[in-house]
Structure 1
Amino acid sequence: MSKDKDPSARDTHYATLRRAHRDAKRERGEIPTPQKQKRKRPGAEDWKPPALEANQVFLYGLHTVRAALENPERKNIQLSVTQNALARLEIDAEALGIPVQMVAPQDIDKVLGPEAIHQGVMLETRPLPVRRLEALKQSPLLLVLDQVTDPHNVGAVMRSAVAFDAGAVITTMRHSPTESGVLAKSASGALEMIPYIQITNLAETLGELHELGFHTVGLDSEGPAPLEQSLSGEKVALVLGAEGKGLRQKTRDTVKTLARLDMPGRIKSLNVSNAAAIALYATRQHLKR
C-alpha cells in the first residue's frame, strides 16, 4: 500500500489539521483555553494540617528560618533540619540554645504537608511580640493594607517595605493573614525585619496616624492625581486595598488624599505587591527632597 493511501498516515494528518484549527480559534478567543491542572505531590490529598496552639508557629525555608534564628525578639522552641539544610544554614547548632532535631525531608512533610517548599528546615517558634502604633513616631514611611487577605501578597509587600526602609506594615485583624509559615516564607525573612501591626479599626488607626503627623495617601486606580503629585509633608503612610475591590469606602473617606499610579500602557491595574513597590519607591524620592 502506498503512503498516500495509508489510513494511519491520513488519520494523523487530519488530527494535526484539527489541532491547528482548534489552536487558532483559541488564539482568537472563540473557544476557551482549558485550565491546566496543578499536579499535586504524592500524599497531598491525604495530608491534614496539625492542630496548632494559639502561641505556636511553624516557620520553614532557609531564608525564613535563618532570619528568625537571628532575630533576638523570637522565642524559638525547636529546629528540625536535614543534614544538608543544616550545612546550608551556616549556623552553629550548639549555640542556638534550643533542641536541634536531625530529620529526613519526609518528616517535615508530615507536619507541613507535601506541598510546602521547606528546603529541609522547619522551626517551631512563638509569634512575634505585639507591636503598637506609638513606636512608629520616628518612622517617616509606613505601609497600610486594607483587608489584603492573601498571605503570599502580604509577604511580598513586606519584602518591598523592608527594601525601601518602611517603618511598619499595618493591617486589620479581620480579613488579613495572621503570622504563619506561608506568610513568613513569602516574606523571605522580611517578617523578622519590620513590625507587622494588626489593628481592629482601620479608620480610627488612620486618625491616629494623622495625629502623629502622617499624610495618608490611598492608592486608587481612579484617583484624581498621580501619586507623585499627591505626596506632601515629611511623614507619609501609603494605604493599599485588596485586588479587585480596592479600598473600602470608609477608608477612601478617611485618608487625606486619593492618588493613582500613572500607567501609560493598556493594563491599568497591578498586583498589590507590585503596586506597593512602585509606590514605596516614589514616596522615598519625595522624602529625600
Structure 2
Amino acid sequence: MSQWETIYGVHAVEALLRHHPKRVKQLWLAQGRQDPRVQELLQLAEQARVPVGQRERRELDEWVEGVHQGVVAEVSPSQVWGENALEEILARGTGPALLLVLDGVTDPHNLGACLRTAEAAGVQAVIVPKDKSATLNATVRKVACGAAEVIPLVAVTNLARTLEKLQQQGLWVVGTAGEASQEIYDLDLRGPTVLVMGAEGRGMRRLTREHCDYLARLPMAGSVSSLNVSVATGVCLFEAVRQRRPQTAS
C-alpha cells in the first residue's frame, strides 16, 4: 500500500494547500491549464514549497476515478480523529456546541456532502461509527469541496456510549425519525446540541435512537416520503443556525 493518498479537484486541493500544506507531497496539473484558479494554486504551492508538475489530461483521467478538473495532489494519509479528541474539540468552541452524528451513512458522496454542509453551518465535529460507515477518501474530499480538510471527522467504537458521554457534558441529543410527533422546527436548538442523522432507508439504529433526548421529523408535503440524508442534514443544521442568530431589536 502506498504511503501517499491521491486528492483531486480544485476545492479539495486548495483547502489542503491553505490549511495543511505540509501534507502535500506533489501537485500535478493538466498541461495547458492556466486559468486564475490554477494560478492561485501555484502561488499556494510556491509558498509551501510544494513541487509542481504537469501531466497530460489523459494521464490524469487514467490515474484517478472522478472529475479531477485537471488538478491532482499526492498527500500524506487522511487523519480521522479518535473519540478522545472530542473533549478538546468542544473546549475550543465558542458559544453553544453543535455536533453532527451520522449513524450508518456508507455512501462516500453523502458523507462528503454532509461534511460540506456541516462546515458551512459551523458544526464543530462530525461523528461516525468506525464500522459500517464511509470514511475519508478521495471521493469524500472531492464532494466536500475542501470541508474535509477543515472540519474534524471523529470515528468512535461505540456510538451509544459516545452519545451518553456527550449528554453527561450537558449536550442534548436530537435524533431524526420520520414517525416522530414533533417537527424539527418545534424544538429549541439554541443550546448545546448533537444532531443525529440515520442512514437512508434504515434510519437510526435502535441503540442510537434510545440515547436520543428528542426525536424530530421533517414535514413532507409532497408524495416523496423521505429526503436524501445530506439534504435532510442541511435542513436540520440550518434550522439550528437560524435559531442561533443574534436577535436584533426592531
TM-score, with length taken from structure 2: 0.87
Q: 3-state SS of the aligned residue for 1:178?
A: coil
The corresponding residue for 2:6 is: 58
Q: Matches of 1:65 and 1:83 in 2, distance apart?
A: 17
The corresponding residue for 1:106 is: 58
Paired residues of 1:217 and 1:257 also in contact (CA < 8 A): yes
Q: Matches of 1:188 and 1:145 in 2, distance apart?
A: 19
Q: How well do the aligned residues superpose, as a CA RMSD in angstroms?
A: 1.9
- Deviations along 1:190-223, one digit per CA (max 9) or x if unpaired, are 1112111111111011112112221110001111
Give the stretch that moved more between structures: 130-139 or 154-163.
Answer: 130-139
**Runs of 5+ consecutive residues of structure 1 not aligned to the other structure:** 1-51
Q: Letter of the 1:104 partner, please give it.
A: E
The corresponding residue for 1:140 is: 97
Matched, 1:119 2:55: no
**CA distance 1:121–1:283, shift in 2 (3 Å):** same
Aligned pairs for 1:1-289 within 5 A: 52-53=1-2, 55-72=3-20, 75-85=23-33, 87=35, 88-89=37-38, 90=40, 91-92=42-43, 93-113=45-65, 116-131=66-81, 132-137=85-90, 138=93, 140-231=97-188, 234-288=191-245
Give the stretch that moved more between structures: 127-136 or 117-126.
Answer: 127-136
Q: Matches of 1:153 and 1:171 in 2, distance apart?
A: 13
- Deviations along 1:101-127, one digit per CA (max 9) or x if unpaired, are 2111122223214xx211111111123
Q: Letter of the 2:183 partner, please give it.
A: P
Paired residues of 2:21 and 2:48 also in contact (CA < 8 A): no
Q: Matches of 2:114 and 2:22 in 1, distance apart?
A: 21
Greater Rg, structure 1 or structure 2?
1
Q: Matches of 2:21 and 2:54 in 1, distance apart?
A: 25
> Structure 1 vs Structure 2: percent identity of aligned residues?
37
**CA distance 1:56–1:213, shift in 2 (3 Å):** farther
Q: 3-state SS of the aligned residue for 1:261?
A: coil
Paired residues of 1:215 and 1:237 also in contact (CA < 8 A): yes
**Runs of 5+ consecutive residues of structure 2 not aligned to the other structure:** none
Q: 3-state SS of the aligned residue for 1:107?
A: helix
Q: Matches of 2:109 and 2:33 in 1, distance apart?
A: 23
Q: Matches of 2:57 and 2:75 in 1, distance apart?
A: 19
Q: Letter of the 1:134 partner, please give it.
A: E
Q: Which protein has greater RCO, CA pairs closer than 8 Å, 6+ apart?
A: 2
Give the stretch that moved more between structures: 93-102 or 165-174.
Answer: 93-102
Q: Matches of 1:81 and 1:73 in 2, distance apart?
A: 17
Q: 3-state SS of the aligned residue for 1:251?
A: helix
Q: Matches of 2:31 and 2:209 in 1, distance apart?
A: 52
Q: 3-state SS of the aligned residue for 2:207?
A: helix
Q: Letter of the 2:58 partner, please give it.
A: Q
